[in-house]
């Protein structure tokens, strides 16, 4: 089945530095990838939708200059948290969309990245 | 707006007992509905999905869900709970805005934490 690899699984960084999270679809081409943020004991909140070769579409309230998304190929999307602050500490999950046999898109999720900013 | 509501943020069942996790949707058009499971510090794994075909959908790990249009529900059930079923469960729908824009992003319910008592 479809597999999405997300790295790193956890990262600790100092306040003010930047962190890059990678999301790769290993065995299918993902024209669209989604980035979610999840706070403890809460649901997933969509941050942005990225389409290969074009600019990402950000949800209301998400700072595009802070959360840089690049989807340069059909198998790789990256999320860079720039000038990270403690309030950016969270669990970030990517999802890649592919088309399954019945014509409805399938959504495969990465294993998530736990970001802690100190 | 198209959304899902999960009743009960926390459900406890005894090992071997019936599992019932509730999900109701609000939609003016037949939705595509999904159930995902999340283990601690991990991504989401698809349990099953409804795509306007059979109303009773069978998924992995013995789970199934029934789409009931008259009740606008898509409850998740499992006849006999196992200790390994303890996790967070999310109901999701492709958001109406996502369908209109073509992004087809998932909108998640608030989640239900399942505890299995030995």
Please determine, for residue B84, whether its predicted confidence score (pLDDT) is greater than 90: yes
pLDDT at B2: 65
Q: How far apart are CA B59 and CA B73, in angstroms?
A: 17
| A2 touching chain B per CB within 8 A | no
pLDDT at A32: 87
| A114 touching chain B per CB within 8 A | yes
Please determine, for residue B75, whether its predicted confidence score (pLDDT) is greater than 60: yes
Closest CA to A74 of A50, A58, A109: A50
Which chain A residues touch B42 with a CB distance below 8 Å? 111-112
Is pLDDT larger for residue B18 or for residue A52?
B18
The answer to whether the CB atoms of A107 and B46 lie below 8 A apart is: yes
Q: Give me the percent of chain A exceeding a pLDDT of 90.
A: 68
Residue A102's pLDDT band (boundaries 50, 70, 90)?
Answer: very low
pLDDT at A49: 92
Please determine, for residue B109, whether its predicted confidence score (pLDDT) is greater than 90: yes
The answer to whether the CB atoms of B41 and A57 lie below 8 A apart is: no
Please determine, for residue B97, whether its predicted confidence score (pLDDT) is greater than 70: no
Which chain A residues touch B46 with a CB distance below 8 Å? 106-108
Nearest CA in chain B to A115: B41
How far is A84 from chain B, CA to nearest CA, in Å?
A: 21
Other CB atoms within 10 A of residue A31 CB: 17
Nearest CA in chain A to B6: A43
Token pair recorded at residue A57: 């579409």
Average pLDDT (A55-69) is: 93
pLDDT at A115: 97
Nearest beta carbon to residue A107 from set B53, B106, B113: B106
Which chain B residues touch A108 with a CB distance below 8 Å? 46
Q: Which residues of B27-40 are buried (b: 16+ CB within 10 A; e: fewer)?
A: beeebbbbbbbbee
Q: How far apart are CA B109 and CA B33, in angstroms?
A: 11
Instruction: Say if residues A31 and A51 touch (Cβ distance below 8 Å).
Output: yes
Q: Give me the percent of chain B exceeding a pLDDT of 70.
A: 88
Average pLDDT (B10-34) is: 91
Mean pLDDT of chain B: 90
Q: Is B21 exposed, middle or buried (0-12, 13-18, 19+ CB in 10 A)?
A: buried
Q: Is A2 exposed, middle or buried (0-12, 13-18, 19+ CB in 10 A)?
A: middle
Residue A41's pLDDT band (boundaries 50, 70, 90)?
Answer: confident
A vs B: CB pairs below 8 A: 53
The answer to whether the CB atoms of B44 and A49 lie below 8 A apart is: no
The DSSP bridge pattern shows strands B112-117 and B10-14 to be parallel
The answer to whether the CB atoms of B42 and A42 lie below 8 A apart is: no
Please determine, for residue B52, whether its predicted confidence score (pLDDT) is greater than 80: no
Nearest beta carbon to residue A109 from set B32, B44, B104: B44
Please determine, for residue B104, whether its predicted confidence score (pLDDT) is greater than 80: no
pLDDT at A100: 55
Nearest beta carbon to residue B41 from set A49, A108, A112: A112
Q: How far apart are CA B77 and CA B66, in angstroms?
A: 9
Query: Of the given ranges (A31-40, A80-89, A95-104), which has the lowest mean pLDDT?
Result: A95-104
| Cα-Cα end-to-end distance for chain B | 40
């Amino acid at each position: 089945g479809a597999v999405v690899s997300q790295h790193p699984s956890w990262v600790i960084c100092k306040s003010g530095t930047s962190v890059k999270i990678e999301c790769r679809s290993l065995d299918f081409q993902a024209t669209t990838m989604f980035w979610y943020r999840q706070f403890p004991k809460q649901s997933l909140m969509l941050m942005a939708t990225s389409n290969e070769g074009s600019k990402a579409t950000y949800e209301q309230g998400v700072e595009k200059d802070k959360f840089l998304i690049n989807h340069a190929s059909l198998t790789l999307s990256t999320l860079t948290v720039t000038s990270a602050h403690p309030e950016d500490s969270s669990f970030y999950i990517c999802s890649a969309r592919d088309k399954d046999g019945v014509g409805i898109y399938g959504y495969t999720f990465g294993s998530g990245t736990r970001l802690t900013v100190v | 707006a198209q959304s899902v509501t999960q009743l009960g943020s926390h459900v406890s069942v005894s090992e071997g007992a019936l599992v019932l996790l509730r999900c109701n949707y609000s939609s003016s058009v037949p939705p595509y509905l999904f159930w995902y499971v999340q283990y601690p510090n991990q991504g989401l794994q698809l349990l099953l999905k409804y795509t306007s075909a059979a109303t009773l959908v069978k998924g992995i790990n013995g789970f199934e869900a029934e789409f009931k249009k008259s009740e606008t529900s898509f409850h998740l059930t499992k006849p006999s709970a196992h200790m390994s079923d303890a996790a967070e469960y999310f109901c999701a729908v492709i958001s109406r805005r996502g369908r209109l824009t073509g992004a087809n992003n998932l909108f998640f319910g608030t989640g239900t934490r399942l505890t299995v008592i030995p």
